[in-house]
Structure 1
Amino acid sequence: MGEFARLEVGSGEQAGVATLRLDRPKMNALNEQVQEEIRAAAHEATARDDVKAVVVYGGERVFAAGADVKEMNDMSYTDMIKRSGGLQSAFTAVAKIPKPVVAAITGYALGGGCELALCADVRFAAEDAVLGQPEILLGIIPGAGGTQRLTRLVGPSRAKDLIFSGRFVKAEEALAIGLVDRVVAPDAVYQEAVDWAGQFAGAATYALRAAKETIDRGLEVDLETGLGIERQQFAALFATEDRAIGMASFVENGPGKAEFRGR
């Protein structure tokens, strides 16, 4: 378990839902240690069979206000050449968790914090949340996936507007442009995310994994190649026990009654 980022696996009514919890007071600044602890927590979430979905959460006050600028201020070009790959891959480890991932955004999600939220499959934000990529105001650009994931999510012109200006985006606008998927009361964000994640506790694990991988890989290729990926994943699921359970249950009892085993 990391000092500032850890995986908390739920039990009881929250069984199957894990929280990747950021906890570095006061603003969850994402220094190198936090980045590596995020990577470790993401790998743990990937490996654990009892984790069916993940909530990324920074606490009631703030999601993550960005990278640790004091740490970066002392770094040279060669220092950052050595570190930038690790920075990107730590966040990519979250994006590659082969299970549904939701970011529960409170307070600020800026710079690296916004980039971390972009690694989730969906994003739920508090009504008073603020997001943005203000790196340009420091004389740099987003370096943990922001130029790529933000563009794929909201389109190139909107991404350029946000990245070129470095301006902050309030929750209402973030919802309108597709940067977040749901806006709720500040005290309801985490529970809303847990409830969304909880619906997958009894789902067909390998079908969810295939769906996520097919969508994500398909975004990077042409349509014909994407359809090939889909075809292969679709056929492969006929080797799973859950496919047999799901189809037999449908034939006998109708939809939505299957009790999957995650195999």
Structure 2
Amino acid sequence: MTTTHLDLDAVALDGAPLNSAAPDAIALDATGPVATLTLGTGRRLNALRPDDWAALARDADSLAGREDLRAVVIRGGGGVFCSGSDLREWDGATQEEVSESFAGMEAALQAVEDIPVPTVAVVEGFGTGAGCQLALACDLQLVNRSAKIGMPIGRLGLLVPATFATRMSLLIGPGRTKELLYGGRLLPAPEAHQMGLITTLVEDGAVDDSLTELLAQWDGLSAASLRASKAAVNYGLTPLVQPARRAPQGAACDPDEFAWRLDAFLNRHRPHASR
């Protein structure tokens, strides 16, 4: 099959030049009662490699065991949250290798969800693909008004796992989730907030102040009460969440279309490439 053009947004899944440097390793600041996990430095829109997802899972697991912790903040460096997985890792990959990558992503997302204290995603710029899922894996999302968030992975022939769909359905319902996944578009932050996909819309430039105010509110509450509140809500959702977590992992990509769709996307972003 020949393709000359895919109607993909320039930043829908990656957006940075392919010859730019990969983001730095996941940085964890856990010196106080509020831990902060920072993704990359903004380069390549903080697209994460398999090793980065594994590091995120390890850091989240380490935080889950800390009795003195009150909250966890997850944000991206360089004024952008996360554009998902680094697509270059899948150039020439087999279906099995893509499935292994998805398993690594999901392990990290569940590790974040299993942190017993309140978690906040600070979303600036873009939260796309698995980056969107990471934001939704947190309890709350503080999102800049100019940011965009969504799951356009269908345009690459990637297959949405049950866990990804369930995270969205719990927030906006199955109908809205299907509409977004079928359309493969990115949502402006105000629209995402209006439909309930994100919890808090923040004016550009005010995200740090908003985060400080939120953490200050929690600082005046019982740490045990905060943990109990999270556990109580999560317990009620268990019958909806656990079937998706336990579902056998199927194929992660379209066997017929993924390779050429990914190739077309990568070549479109590779300098001096021609189709």
Q: Same fold (TM over 0.5)?
A: yes
Paired position in structure 2 for 1:96 = 114
Query: Is 1:37 aligned to 2:55, yes or no?
Result: yes
Query: Which residue, 145, 148, 159 being the options, matches 1:141?
Result: 159
Query: Which residue, 196, 207, 231 being the options, matches 1:213?
Result: 231
Over residues 169-200 of structure 1, what are the superposed CA-to-partner deviations in whole Å (9 max), with x where a residue is unaligned? 00110110001111112222133124313433
Paired position in structure 2 for 1:20 = 37
Over residues 4-60 of structure 1, what are the superposed CA-to-partner deviations in whole Å (9 max), with x where a residue is unaligned? 2122136xxxx5222111115231102101101111221222222332101111135
Paired position in structure 1 for 2:184 = 166
2: CA distance, partners of 1:160 / 1:186 = 29
Tell me the CA shift for residue 143 of structure 1: 4.4
Instruction: Find the residue that maps to 2:109 and give its secondary structure.
Output: helix
Highest CA radius of gyration, 1 or 2?
1
Instruction: Output the amino acid matched with 2:105.
Output: L
Structure 1 unaligned runs (5+)? 223-263
Q: How does 1:52-91 map to 2 (within 5 A)?
A: 52-91=70-109
Instruction: Find the residue that maps to 2:104 and give its secondary structure.
Output: helix
Paired position in structure 2 for 1:260 = none
2: CA distance, partners of 1:138 / 1:200 = 41
Structure 2 unaligned runs (5+)? 1-22, 241-275
- The structure 1 segments of at least 4 consecutive aligned residues displaced by more than 4 Å after TM superposition are none
1: CA distance, partners of 2:162 / 2:215 = 25
Tell me the CA shift for residue 122 of structure 1: 0.9
Structure 1 residues 177, 31: closer, same or farther in 2, change over 3 A? same
Instruction: Output the amino acid matched with 1:220.
Output: T
Q: 2:121·2:135 contact (CA, 8 Å) conserved in 1?
A: yes
Q: 1:17·1:201 contact (CA, 8 Å) conserved in 2?
A: no
Instruction: Output the amino acid matched with 2:172.
Output: V
- Equivalenced residue count is 217
2: CA distance, partners of 1:166 / 1:85 = 22
Instruction: Output the amino acid matched with 2:128.
Output: L
Paired position in structure 1 for 2:222 = 204
Paired position in structure 2 for 1:4 = 25
Q: RMSD of aligned C-alpha atoms?
A: 2.1
1: CA distance, partners of 2:162 / 2:220 = 33
Paired position in structure 2 for 1:176 = 194
Structure 1 residues 35, 143: closer, same or farther in 2, change over 3 A? farther
TM-score by length of 1: 0.76
TM-score by length of 2: 0.73
Q: 2:125·2:148 contact (CA, 8 Å) conserved in 1?
A: yes
Deviates more, 1:104-113 or 1:194-203: 194-203
Deviates more, 1:140-149 or 1:164-173: 140-149
Paired position in structure 2 for 1:240 = none
Over residues 76-129 of structure 1, what are the superposed CA-to-partner deviations in whole Å (9 max), with x where a residue is unaligned? 122234443332111110011100011111000000110000001111110100
Over residues 225-254 of structure 1, what are the superposed CA-to-partner deviations in whole Å (9 max), with x where a residue is unaligned? xxxxxxxxxxxxxxxxxxxxxxxxxxxxxx
Instruction: Find the residue that maps to 1:186 and give its secondary structure.
Output: coil
Paired position in structure 2 for 1:189 = 207
Instruction: Find the residue that maps to 2:45 and give its secondary structure.
Output: coil
Q: 1:54·1:197 contact (CA, 8 Å) conserved in 2?
A: no
Paired position in structure 2 for 1:227 = none
Paired position in structure 2 for 1:151 = 169
